[in-house]
Structure 1
Amino acid sequence: MASQPVFTAMSTSARQLHSLLRCIAFSQRAEVQITHSGIKFSVEEARVVQGLTFLDKALFSTYTLNLDDDQHTLPPFSISIVALLETLQIFGIAEASSSRNPYGGFSSSYGNAFTAPALAVGGTCRLSYQEPGAPLTITIQEGSVSTMCEMNTYEAHDNYEDDGGIPLDRNALCLKAIMRSTWLHDAITELSGTNPTALVLNASNRSAPYFALEGEGGPFGDSIVEFMPESKNDPTPSGTRGKMQPLVTETFSVVPPSGSHGRIRQRYKFDMVKRAGRAMALASKVSVRQDEQGVLSLQFMIDLGDGANNGARRDDNAAAAAPPSPGSVAFVDFRFVPLVGDDEDSESDTGSEEDFDRQEDNNASP
């Protein structure tokens, strides 16, 4: 009799898994880390851009991990994320409606009950891993029809030094901003029109532009999108003006390194930043962070609840008062290594806030 698998999990929504994993499917292979709290998928390219998504165990109806007493996690392994996505959409899982949802998240618009997309949304997904080194078994079932796929697993590459990814020093952040993801998506889309080679992030806590994105090196010239600050004449409740921040941000903090004259200006390869485009369009919020070494983190919060994003505007104050429950949101994190040594003008080579901070603990788990 076969021994019990070391890991099994069941999801009632193959579409959720497919949509989250597709956000980071910019390379052929993904490294997988299975823990008691969930599954972390990591994809990287040339060690200058990395995408991570964490599938919390709350996303699954059942989640079982059988480890010895001296084990805390399974050895990481890699799989073909392209093959995994093809398996998850074996019954023709459809993308959300092409109509724009300005608040991010999963769209509830799939046509009527007789359209092909409406008939393709269903399907449960069962993941099974017999033992380290064994294939990852995926069983997709819709009604009385089921299909099973065994995906070969491979030895994972050597981990990075920090948390299994491009290291972001959270104790030395020089920029942190939280805003609606659609604002960032619109800015990147606008800059794409000049086909730039580099994206310049420009931020200051003293003078304008307080927060701006620039496209440089394109054949049609340079372009800039500036996020305008609050009016200087708007008083705070105490009657005195507070610190300046862009209107579109919920949180905005700039702490430039010493000798940078109060401004951060860092360059990144534009094509690499565009790898996060799918997550930008799907997410409701994004946390933009940069450390003193210039590593840029874009962490996207994606609402998963059916009623969370149905095209109607949400009450942000109510959402802030009641943090999302586990399983109602998922996080996708992109990290980018800066371009250095070729910018003479560079002055620095370098939900709620609590929701993003809690997710960092999941990404940093061994």
Structure 2
Amino acid sequence: MASPPLFTAISTSARQLHVLLRCIAFSPRAEVQITRSGIRFSVEEARVLQGLTFLDKVLFSTYQLKVDDEQDTIPTFSISIVALLETLQIFGISDSSSSSRNPNGGFSSSYGNAFNAPSLALAGTCRITYQEAGAPLTITIQEGSVTTTCEMNTYEVHGEYHDDGGIPLDRERLCLKAIMRSTWLHDAINELSGTNPSALVLNASNRTAPYFSFEGEGGPFGDSTVDFLPETKNEPTPSGLRGRKQPLVAENFVVAPPSGTHGRVRQRYKFEMIKRAGRAMALASKVSLRQDQQGVLSLQFMIDLGDGAATMGGGRRGDVDGNIGAPPTPGSVAFVDFRFVPLVGDEDDSASEVESGDGLHADDDFEALN
């Protein structure tokens, strides 16, 4: 008699899994780590870009992992994320694009045509089974009386990142932290795309203008800049921010350089790498932007899995620790994290220029992908 599988999980919505995984499908392979609290998928490109998403166990109606009491995970393996996405959409999952998203992020409850009907978007029940280490990962999709089973080869992972399992972000030495509506970031990147730049320059200060801007450099049609102003004629800067200004688009904005330095935070990144996060930008309701003193940039997106209610106004939801607004309903939101290594080589690119400012506050950012 066959032994029970090492891991089994059942989801009633293959669409949720498909949407989250497609956000990081910029490379053919994904590393998979199954833990007691959920499944972590990691995709990287040339060791300078990494995308991570965490499928929390609350997304599944059944979640069983058979490991020893002293173990919290099973050996990491890799699979073809392309094959996984093809399997999840076997019954015709509708594509959630920026044209159908809620203006504040998340999924729109309206459907543009008959082929986007809710019954197709849900795509039935998804069962994930992993019999033992080294065995294929089995995906079973059931819609009514029709069942499709796919066995995907798993591969041994050679070489691993250090630190927390990804491109290292030094949370103790952050020089920039900001939380803003994701659509503002998405629109800014789209605006800069018009000049086809080769590099994106992140420019920030809490003392002198420009306080927060993105610049597109090296394009054949010239350079361009999107500047998020701290005040307008109709919306004066709040009195609490006098002497320490922040963009109106940001909920939280902190520039905190090392002691004894002066200047501003200014760092360059390959523009094509930033665009890899475009799908997550379009779907998310909020984004937490962090940059450490080595120039590593983290964009962590909060994606609403319901009707797009996680907006910046009333009824605001927060991260898993309840640091931003009220805590979200379990399974109502998910987080996708992108990390970028900066461009180096030129004199201005070798390190971040930073400016003296206020200290960091540990409760300003999402921390869902630990």
* TM-score w.r.t. length of structure 2: 0.90
Q: Which consecutive residues of structure 2, in runs of 5 or more, have no partner in the other structure?
A: 319-323, 355-361
Residue of structure 2 equivalent to 1:348: 352
What is the alpha-carbon distance in structure 2 between the residues aligned to residue 347 and residue 260 of structure 1?
Answer: 12
Residue of structure 2 equivalent to 1:249: 250
What is the alpha-carbon distance in structure 1 between the residues aligned to residue 143 and residue 83 of structure 2?
Answer: 19
C-alpha deviations, 1:246-292, integer Å up to 9, x for none? 00000000012356523011000000000000000000000000000
Deviation at 1:69, TM superposition (A): 2.5
Moved over 6 A (4+): none
What is the alpha-carbon distance in structure 2 between the residues aligned to residue 343 and residue 269 of structure 1?
Answer: 16
Residue of structure 2 equivalent to 1:333: 337
Pair 356,37 (structure 1): closer, same or farther in 2 beyond 3 Å: farther
Deviation at 1:205, TM superposition (A): 1.6
Determine if the alignment matches structure 1 residue 236 to structure 2 residue 270.
no
What is the alpha-carbon distance in structure 2 between the residues aligned to residue 313 and residue 257 of structure 1?
Answer: 31
What is the alpha-carbon distance in structure 2 between the residues aligned to residue 210 and residue 355 of structure 1?
Answer: 18
What is the alpha-carbon distance in structure 1 between the residues aligned to residue 255 and residue 138 of structure 2?
Answer: 46
Q: How do 1:11-26 and structure 2 match up within 5 A?
A: 11-26=11-26
What is the alpha-carbon distance in structure 1 between the residues aligned to residue 259 and residue 62 of structure 2?
Answer: 50
Pair 156,330 (structure 1): closer, same or farther in 2 beyond 3 Å: same
Residue of structure 2 equivalent to 1:168: 169
- Counterpart AA for 2:254: S
Question: Percent of aligned pairs with the same residue?
Answer: 75
Deviates more, 1:175-184 or 1:150-159: 150-159
CA contact (8 A) 2:102 2:308 kept: no
What is the alpha-carbon distance in structure 2 between the residues aligned to residue 41 and residue 302 of structure 1?
Answer: 16
- Counterpart AA for 2:140: T
Residue of structure 1 equivalent to 2:298: 297
- Counterpart AA for 1:124: T
Determine if the alignment matches structure 1 residue 117 to structure 2 residue 120.
no
CA contact (8 A) 1:96 1:110 kept: no
Deviates more, 1:90-99 or 1:178-187: 90-99
CA contact (8 A) 1:340 1:349 kept: no
Residue of structure 2 equivalent to 1:186: 187
Residue of structure 1 equivalent to 2:55: 55
Pair 321,214 (structure 1): closer, same or farther in 2 beyond 3 Å: closer
Residue of structure 2 equivalent to 1:282: 283
CA contact (8 A) 2:343 2:349 kept: no
Deviation at 1:70, TM superposition (A): 3.1
CA contact (8 A) 2:301 2:337 kept: yes
What is the alpha-carbon distance in structure 1 between the residues aligned to residue 161 and residue 130 of structure 2?
Answer: 25
Q: Which consecutive residues of structure 1, in runs of 5 or more, have no partner in the other structure?
A: none
Deviation at 1:340, TM superposition (A): 1.0
Residue of structure 1 equivalent to 2:272: 271
Residue of structure 1 equivalent to 2:321: none
What is the alpha-carbon distance in structure 1 between the residues aligned to residue 364 and residue 266 of structure 2?
Answer: 27
- Aligned with 1:84: secondary structure? helix
CA contact (8 A) 1:134 1:153 kept: yes
Q: How do 1:132-211 and structure 2 match up within 5 A?
A: 132-211=133-212
Deviation at 1:345, TM superposition (A): 7.0
CA contact (8 A) 1:202 1:263 kept: yes
C-alpha deviations, 1:103-148, integer Å up to 9, x for none? 1112222246xx1221421311000000110000000011111100
Residue of structure 1 equivalent to 2:29: 29
Deviates more, 1:63-72 or 1:248-257: 63-72
Deviation at 1:325, TM superposition (A): 2.2
CA contact (8 A) 1:260 1:347 kept: no
C-alpha deviations, 1:181-216, integer Å up to 9, x for none? 000000000000000000000001210001100000
CA contact (8 A) 1:173 1:291 kept: yes
Residue of structure 1 equivalent to 2:67: 67
C-alpha deviations, 1:2-30, integer Å up to 9, x for none? 10001000001000100000000000100
What is the alpha-carbon distance in structure 2 between the residues aligned to residue 59 and residue 356 of structure 1?
Answer: 22
What is the alpha-carbon distance in structure 1 between the residues aligned to residue 316 and residue 18 of structure 2?
Answer: 31
Over the aligned positions, Cα root-mean-square deviation in angstroms equals: 2.3
What is the alpha-carbon distance in structure 1 between the residues aligned to residue 209 and residue 302 of structure 2?
Answer: 28
Pair 336,90 (structure 1): closer, same or farther in 2 beyond 3 Å: same
CA contact (8 A) 1:235 1:242 kept: no
What is the alpha-carbon distance in structure 2 between the residues aligned to residue 356 and residue 331 of structure 1?
Answer: 12
Pair 233,321 (structure 1): closer, same or farther in 2 beyond 3 Å: closer
